[in-house]
Amino acid sequence: MPNVSDRPRTYKKPALEDVDPITNYIPASVRDKFDERQMDRFKKLRKFVEFECLPLDTVYLQESTLFEHESDLETCPVIINLRKKLEAYQLHKMFVPMDQRGYDHSFNDNWEVVSMVEFAMIAFLAGRSVIASYLFHLDDLIDLGTIQVLLRNGCSNHDLWVQVIDELVSNNMKSCLMVSERDVSGSDALNVQTTCKIEGDDLNEEEATMTLNGTKWFIKDAGDSDIWLVLCVTEFDEGNIYRKHTLCLVNRNDLPPNSTRIEPIETNEAIGKFYEVQFKDCKVPLNIIGERGEGYQILQMKSSVTKLFQCLKLCGMGQESLRLSNKRAAERKVFGSKLQKSEYFKFDLAHWRIKIETCKLLCFNAAIKCDYEGVKAAREEIGMVKAVTPKEISSLVDWSIQLHGCYGLCSTQTPLSHMWQVSRSLRINDTPDESLISQLGRLEISNYNKFQKTYDQELTTLAGK
Ligand SMILES: Cc1cc2nc3c(=O)[nH]c(=O)nc-3n(C[C@H](O)[C@H](O)[C@H](O)COP(=O)(O)OP(=O)(O)OC[C@H]3O[C@@H](n4cnc5c(N)ncnc54)[C@H](O)[C@@H]3O)c2cc1C
């Protein structure tokens, strides 16, 4: 009689990719957009997130609150370790999504321009983990947004343009965006009142200056950033309100003494550190992004792209929140039976599964349209994504917290309360829900009017034939 251990082993334990292939996470309608190399990258990313990041998320959340400055996060042991692993997974480059290819990035090896739909998949997969979101620059997408804005629109100082992109990509620099002001509604960037007087833009680069006056408010990481993108009124005599603002690029090293006051704002630190910044006759070298008077349009475009990817990150977060709920319901007994057996639970689970899928499909559809026709053409699709996703995902995370009871609400052993704050804050930050919905309504009416006018004209022409 042969020993049991001598029997041939035919059974091989399935790997995660066998039971839950990466294709489960890619909407069927976009699978043909990815080649083998991209699929391989997604598999690696998924493995990195599942095995290296998710198990450490709560440790990271606890450690990160101990640091005073966001730049200090790079000294966090968890991050140092994971940065090394990123190289082993060949995921260490910064991925920059652009709707058109052909950008010269030969001056730095640390980044790669990818299509919008490829980045959509990266944002969704990395969005599941708090640490992966940080490592893939998805936390607030400010630096990624700055790189995109600079690539798309250029800057009046070419050397600074190259230097800023280079340093941001290499993680040696941080940027922030200054739009909001205390005294006016931030829902509409046209309200911005901070002024910038430009002098000598007809002279050579070194002699031209800009002088800023005004106060910006609720600026994330301003105290920690080296480069400030400041929206200011520059075209004082311009009648068209859409052409009055310019996006100015301020290098913090150029600030004259006593020209700015930077005050931290007391806030809940879980969603970041915020500052009020006052400019008082702050005269710095002239650096503007794009053309004078184009600031509002540039900002609209930037906001569209960053919010689309933040919504994809939220879809990833929703996916993880659903997994945590499934796990809890499979383990927790209430009134004598597993929570998983409750009909309420099954109904809710199905409901939220459908919601995630709906948001994801809206996001991917918008990303594909950006690739085909550009971000501007996809503004309606992006508007829908932005109006729906943060609301749905924050409600889903709220449900997950409820399901976990006190453990979900108060404990730092789950990332749920962090997820809720992140998803909830996106309902206000970067244009509140109501403002987005109102914009969508206006767009719908304008589309209808255009259609009806043309239709009526064509009908009359046909009738006349
Ligand atoms: C987490 C976070 C990070 C932020 N980071 C930055 C940053 O880095 N830089 C920066 O410049 N700003 C930043 N902000 C500020 C943010 O951009 C503004 O809070 C946002 O634009 C809304 O402006 P507001 O707060 O002035 O609200 P308001 O404009 O005063 O709006 C208040 C409320 O009015 C309602 N409302 C608005 N429009 C309409 C409408 N058309 N119809 C009906 N109701 C409407 C909505 O309920 C809205 O929430 C951040 C905010 C948050 C929450």
Q: Summarize pLDDT for 170-190 with one digit per residue, the tens.
A: 888 999 999 999 999 999 999
Q: Give the pLDDT of residue 272.
A: 81
C-alpha of residue 307 to centroid of ligand 1, in Å: 14
Nearest-CA neighbor of 217 among 177, 257, 159, 255?
177
C-alpha of residue 410 to centroid of ligand 1, in Å: 27
**Average pLDDT score over residue span 407-430:** 91
Mutate to test the pocket of ligand 1, among 139, 194, 217, 218 (most ligand atoms within 8 A of CB): 218
Which whole-number Å values give the CA distances from 297 to 189, 190, 244, 437, 455, in the listed order? 10, 10, 11, 19, 30
For 190-225, the pLDDT digits (tens) are 999 999 999 987 766 678 999 999 999 999 999 999
| DSSP alpha helix (H) spans, 332-432 | 343-373, 379-404, 406-409, 416-425
For 337-373, the pLDDT digits (tens) are 999 999 999 999 999 999 999 999 999 999 999 999 9
d(CA 302, CA 172) in angstroms, rounded, equals 22
Query: What domains can you pick out in the chain, each with its CATH number?
Result: 16-153 (1.10.540), 174-289 (2.40.110.10), 297-447 (1.20.140.10)
Q: Give the pLDDT of residue 356.
A: 97
**Average pLDDT score over residue span 225-229:** 96
C-alpha of residue 426 to centroid of ligand 1, in Å: 9
Q: Is the C-beta atom of 421 inside 6 A of ligand 1?
A: no
Mutate to test the pocket of ligand 1, among 70, 139, 178, 180 (most ligand atoms within 8 A of CB): 180
For 245-263, the pLDDT digits (tens) are 999 999 999 999 999 999 9
Q: Is the C-beta atom of 180 inside 6 A of ligand 1?
A: yes
Q: Give the pLDDT of residue 72.
A: 78
Q: Give the pLDDT of residue 2.
A: 60
pLDDT for 296 beyond 70? yes
Q: Is the C-beta atom of 219 inside 6 A of ligand 1?
A: yes
Q: Is the C-beta atom of 218 inside 6 A of ligand 1?
A: yes
d(CA 123, CA 315) in angstroms, rounded, equals 9
Q: Which helix (H) or strand (E) holds 382?
A: helix 379-404
Binned at pLDDT 50, 70 and 90, residue 105 comes out as low
Q: Is the C-beta atom of 148 inside 6 A of ligand 1?
A: no
Q: Is-contact 179 189, C-beta < 8 A?
A: yes
Q: Is-contact 138 123, C-beta < 8 A?
A: yes
Q: What percent of the chain has pLDDT over 70?
A: 95
Binned at pLDDT 50, 70 and 90, residue 4 comes out as low
pLDDT for 419 beyond 70? yes
Shortest-distance Cα residue to atom 40 of ligand 1: 435
Using the structure block, give the residue that is written with the tokens 């990481």. Answer: 221
Q: Is the C-beta atom of 187 inside 6 A of ligand 1?
A: yes
Amino acid identity for residue 291 in this structure: E
Which of 110-114, 123-127, 148-152, 374-378 tops mean pLDDT? Answer: 123-127
For 72-99, the pLDDT digits (tens) are 788 888 999 999 999 999 999 999 998 8
Mean pLDDT, rounded, of the chain: 92
For the chain, state the CA radius of gyration. Answer: 25
Binned at pLDDT 50, 70 and 90, residue 107 comes out as low
C-alpha of residue 428 to centroid of ligand 1, in Å: 5
**Average pLDDT score over residue span 111-115:** 90
**Average pLDDT score over residue span 142-153:** 92
Q: Give the pLDDT of residue 398.
A: 97
Q: Is-contact 150 289, C-beta < 8 A?
A: yes
Q: Strands 195-199, 245-251: parallel, antiparallel or unpaired by DSSP?
A: unpaired
